[in-house]
């Protein structure tokens, strides 16, 4: 802004000098014409009149003023060029700063949107964690109730084979134990989650009796088998249950079809192994 004002001032002064110089040139021409007429008039009479000397001095003075104004115009022209160069630099600088400012504003806006998105994701994740904890507590209560109904027969802790059968084959997407996820949230998984397309055949891990077969809270469609040896197995998130409560099942028998019911976030089977009601890692027991 200062550079523009300075340039404008120089331009005004240069215009004034140009106008004055134009006037002085015009005046000089008039004086020279008068001097020429006087010179012709008095030359014929061989007279050196004082008007002639006066006009000569006046013309010399005008010439000096013209020379001074011409030099002033050159100086102003040079100053104008310098001011124009400064103005261009300032304008370019203002434009660059404006572009930077616009970029900063975009970055701030993007960061603000990302923060809002992360906050929403954090709230969503925290809600999921709370629901999983609530579901786990509810399932714990159900298992305790079922154990109380089963009586106090001595536990052999022996299966029909050294290892139990996989309820279905697939990638384990959630492992047993405490999991720490984004934003420092943590939740305990009492079993393993095995990814599988919906409708995949789910089989009994070993011989036993179905003591629960129904939809239950965040477990979705749930089956619990008492293996009569101190162990229970639980099969959750199913899309369809193929056996009812009270049914006697054999190892490898189809009991359900995998799905995405309850708290499941993807098609999978949630599988738990309980020893005297306490959740243990089923992986070392699987064949």
Q: Which residues pair with 201 in a beta bridge?
A: 257
Number of domains in the chain: 2
- In this prediction, residue 285 carries a pLDDT of 98
Average pLDDT, the chain: 83
Same domain for 104 and 28: yes
CB 63 within 8 A of CB 28: yes
Q: Is the pLDDT of residue 121 over 70?
A: yes
Q: Return the number of other C-beta atoms located less than 10 Å from residue 269's C-beta.
A: 25
State the DSSP string of 96-165.
Answer: HHHHHHHHHHHHHHHHHHHHHHHHHHHHHHHHHHHHHHHHHHHHHHHHHHHHHHH--PPP----SSSSBP
Report if residue 202 sits inside a domain: yes
Residues 68 and 182 both lie in one domain = no
Between 251 and 119, where is the model more confident? 251
Q: At residue 5, does pLDDT exceed 60?
A: no
Section 23-29 average pLDDT: 73
User: Is residue 136 one of the residues assigned to a domain?
Assistant: no
Q: What is the pLDDT of residue 11?
A: 76
Task: Kindly report the pTM of this predicted structure.
Answer: 0.59
Domain region containing 157: 153-285
Spatial distance between the Cα atoms of 233 and 160, rounded to a whole number of angstroms:
14
d(CA 121, CA 116): 9
Beta strand 192-195 pairing with 186-189: unpaired
Residue 89 has pLDDT above 90, yes or no: no
Band (pLDDT 50/70/90 cuts) for residue 272 is very high
Residue 132: the pLDDT is 74
Domain with residue 174: its CATH number is 2.70.70.10
Write out the two tokens for 135: 């579901």
Bigger pLDDT: 214 vs 46: 214
Inter-residue contact 159 to 287 (CB < 8 Å): no
Answer with the residue of higher pLDDT: 265 or 57: 265
Give the bridge partners for 279, in sequence order. 274
Helix (H, G, I), strand (E, B) or coil at 241: strand
**Would you say residue 84 lies in a domain?**
yes
Q: Which of 112, 145, 167 is at the close of a domain?
A: 112
Q: Are 105 and 157 in a shared domain?
A: no
Phi and psi angles of residue 263, each rounded to the nearest 5 degrees, phi first = -90, 5
Q: Is 215 helix (H, G, I), strand (E, B) or coil?
A: strand
Which sign, positive or negative, has the C-alpha torsion 159, 161, 162, 163? negative
Domain C-terminal end among 79, 112, 145: 112
Confidence of residue 169 (pLDDT cuts 50, 70, 90): very high
Q: Which of 112, 130, 161 is the last residue of a domain?
A: 112
Q: Of 29-33, 86-90, 275-279, where does the model show the most confidence?
A: 275-279
């Amino acid at each position: 802004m200062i550079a523009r004002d300075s340039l404008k001032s120089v331009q005004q002064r240069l215009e004034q000098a140009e106008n004055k110089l134009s006037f002085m040139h015009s005046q000089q021409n008039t004086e020279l014409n008068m001097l020429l007429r006087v010179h012709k008039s008095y030359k014929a009479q061989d007279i050196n009149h004082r008007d002639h000397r006066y006009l000569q001095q006046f013309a010399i003075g005008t010439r000096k003023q013209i020379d001074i104004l011409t030099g002033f115009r050159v100086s102003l022209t040079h100053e104008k060029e310098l001011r124009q160069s400064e103005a261009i630099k300032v304008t370019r600088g203002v434009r660059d700063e404006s572009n930077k400012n616009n970029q900063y504003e975009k970055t701030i806006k993007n960061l603000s949107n990302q923060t809002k998105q992360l906050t929403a994701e954090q709230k969503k994740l925290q809600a999921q964690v709370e629901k999983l904890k609530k579901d786990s507590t509810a399932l714990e209560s159900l298992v305790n109730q079922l154990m109380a109904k089963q009586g106090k027969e001595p536990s052999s802790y022996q299966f029909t084979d050294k290892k139990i059968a996989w309820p279905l084959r697939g990638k384990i997407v959630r492992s047993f134990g405490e999991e720490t996820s984004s934003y420092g949230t943590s939740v305990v998984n009492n079993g393993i989650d095995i990814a599988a397309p919906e409708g995949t055949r789910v089989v009994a891990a070993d011989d036993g009796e179905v003591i629960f077969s129904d939809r239950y809270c965040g477990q979705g469609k749930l089956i619990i088998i008492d293996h009569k040896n101190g162990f229970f197995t639980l099969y959750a998130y199913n899309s369809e249950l193929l056996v009812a409560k009270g049914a006697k099942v054999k190892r490898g028998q189809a009991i359900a079809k995998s799905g995405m019911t309850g708290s499941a976030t993807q098609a999978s089977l949630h599988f738990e192994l309980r020893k005297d009601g306490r959740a243990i890692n089923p992986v070392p027991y699987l064949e």
